[in-house]
Amino acid sequence: MAKLTVVPTPVGNLEDMTFRAIRVLKEADLILAEDTRTTGILLKHFEIQNRMQSHHKFNEHKTVEQVAARIKAGENIALVSDAGTPAISDPGFMLVRECVRQGVEVECLPALVASGLPNEKFCFEGFLPQKKGRQTRLKELSTEYRTIIFYESPFRLVKTLTQLAEFFGNDRPVSVSREISKIHEETVRGTLEEVIAHFTVNEPKGEIVIVLAGLKDKKDKETGTEV
């Protein structure tokens, strides 16, 4: 049965590509790419010569019905973004939603997210609101018991960490990773107070992921145990 396959691609080092992802891309009838030039470099590296088509935030709302119809007609289509997993702060959500609406099978290849904090339960927040609703959202998250994942700009990192300390407490454990899988990859772990001190002295650069521990004394709703 034809399907849409969501394929995570390396953030930096091409060796992070999985054998399964390479096979899926080689077998696809069509590869939807956020930027065909960027994906073209990846495909050339792995000697994949399949046809590509642009699929990005500026055109996806116009093409999702057509793409879903092509899959229903028998084409296997793979979706990739420039790096990471499509639909997570990248184009793809609209297409997946339309495929689900039309009863088209959607498969997402596994993508491993490593952190030094509990990750059996987590919530992904992406970028916090810049202005309106930011403090309200932080207040709401201050009682979240799951590990929380944020994206942030290096220019706003210290400010955001300082705000997290105000709402979550200086002693809340946190992990800040930058430039994942790239040459200058770095992960700094500690309390919010310690990590703020580090990046106040050492100017952050690159793509930033913040992984914040959940509230320790919040009890798991399913088991009744502390997490």
Question: Phi-psi bin for 82: left (phi > 0), alpha (psi -120 to 50), beta?
Answer: alpha
**pLDDT score recorded for residue 85:** 79
Length of the chain equals 227
Which of 100, 76, 102, 80 has the alpha carbon at shortest distance from 91? 80
**pLDDT of 157-215, one tens digit each?**
999 999 999 999 999 999 898 887 677 878 888 899 999 999 999 999 988 999 999 99
Q: Which amino acid is at 197?
A: A
Give kind and range of the element (H or E) at residue 173: strand 173-178
Distance of alpha carbon 42 from alpha carbon 154, whole angstroms: 26
**pLDDT of 194-209, one tens digit each?**
999 999 999 999 889 9
Does residue 137 carry a pLDDT above 70?
Answer: yes
Distance of alpha carbon 92 from alpha carbon 202, whole angstroms: 35
Does residue 38 carry a pLDDT above 60?
Answer: yes
**pLDDT of 55-79, one tens digit each?**
998 988 899 999 999 999 999 999 9
